[in-house]
Amino acid sequence: MEIVLISDGPLPLDSPVRKLPFFFPARLVDMAKVSKRTVGAAQVAVVELLDATDAGLTALKNSWDTIAEIPVFCLVSRKNRREVIQASALGKTEPLERDTPLSLLVRTIKSKVGFDPMATVPRSVPSKTLEAYRKGNAFLESMVLSATDGSNIQINLMNESAKEILAALSLDGIGPWMEAVQSHHSGTYCHSLMVCGIAGLFARHLGWKEADCVEVIAGGLLHDIGKMRIPLTILDKADKLTPEERAIIDKHPQFGREILKPRLEVAIDIKKMAIQHHEFLDGSGYPDGLKASRISPKVRLMTICDIFTALTETRAYKEGLPARVAIDTLKQMGRKLDQDMVDQFARMVLDRGFGEVSRATGPVGGRAAG
């Protein structure tokens, strides 16, 4: 299942269409390049008319046959007569107000395609892990909506998901979790789900109390919430990032702070994991250059799990490193990380079962910055 997102040039910054790839496997297609080949087997087309040029619209009109068979939504502002006329001149479309809340936009598209992210999970994944994955995924979707429209974080769903993930890890182990997680179409979701699984496993390995294990899993789910503000063209870019793009990605902990600051419903320890997971003990991290005395054990744990995941996951632009090599890298980071914790982490990861799963299934989603 796939949707195509059509716009004239890059998607405008204000367009809600930018967030749709967090919910559906989606492809961006330039208005001038709509064809049988670029539309492929997509089941829905969403056309963003903001900033569309006459040339783009003419090209789209000429290639309309290629999307005429599937539902087409046109994003318009009803106050903008020109856009409304353009939409009706294109062909049969369902106009949607650009200000439509993202949740409604997603629901409207789902009603046309009946998309189920569970459909791509391998059948071998046991039921407990499958259920935990379903909940974790549902929480991440709600988190994107919270980050976009400023609504409350769904704390109950977050806690329930975290508890279920811990229970699934305890019953089924990390292998099935990795298998389920890597079936997700969104690299950012894969990364967050993977980090939370590894963080939960590690907290349990360290003998932390159940409540703390649940909290680091919740922290893992939420840790990259700031990335919801970063254009997907940068987040999912297949090539190496330019220094300017890297600088934008590096703002995500700061964006996380801005999103989470008014969210009084989120526990302070969880906020810290989202805001501080790129801090280093020697003060060389970001966003605040904190030193060891101000970095809590949960944040230290999150940083290690995040870097390990980023190093081992395979993305369009890089192969994942084997677990053993990633561990060596963590060790070489010396005083940036809590090396006592790294030693314990290495013992857990290099345990035969984990190492084999990590290599056999191939690591998953997320950019090396974590």
CB nearer Fe ion, residue 166 or residue 311 = 311
Q: Which residue of this chain has its Cβ atom nearest to Fe ion in the complex?
A: 370
Q: Select 50 or 364, whichever has its Cβ closest to Fe ion.
A: 364
Q: Which residue in the set 83, 224, 236, 313 belongs to the binding site for Fe ion (CB under 5 A)?
A: 224
Among the residue ranges 28-36, 132-140, 222-230, 337-345, the one whose residues contact Fe ion (CB under 5 A): 222-230
Residue number with CB closer to Fe ion (57 or 299): 299
| Nearest distance, CB of residue 274 and Fe ion, angstroms | 8
Residue type, 140: L
- Closer residue to Fe ion, CB minimum distance, 26 or 307: 307
Q: Across the strands, what pairs with 46?
A: 5, 73
Q: 65: which residues sit within 8 A by CB, 6+ positions away?
A: none
Binding mask 261-280 for Fe ion (x = CB under 5 A): --------------------
Smallest gap from residue 136 Cβ to Fe ion (A): 15
**For residues 4 and 147, which CB has a smaller minimum distance to Fe ion in the complex?**
147
With respect to Fe ion, which residue has the nearer C-beta, 141 or 306?
306
- Pick the piece of the chain touching Fe ion (CB under 5 A) from 19-27, 90-98, 223-231, 280-288: 223-231
CB 325, min distance to Fe ion, A: 19
Segment 297-326, which members bind Fe ion (CB under 5 A)?
306
Q: Is 21 in the site for Fe ion (CB under 5 A)?
A: no
Q: Under the criterion CB under 5 A, does residue 95 sit at the interface with Fe ion? A: no
Assess 370 for contact with Fe ion (CB under 5 A): yes
Using CB under 5 A, count the residues that bind Fe ion. Answer: 3
Nearer to Fe ion, 16 or 370 (CB): 370
- Footprint of Fe ion on residues 174-193 (CB under 5 A)? none
- Considering the complex, what minimum distance in angstroms separates the CB of residue 360 from Fe ion? 23
Is 215:338 a contact under the CB 8 Å cutoff? Answer: no
Give the contacts of 242 (CB within 8 A, at least 6 positions apart): none
Check residue 8 for interaction with Fe ion (CB under 5 A).
no
Query: What is the binding site for Fe ion (CB under 5 A)?
Result: 224, 306, 370
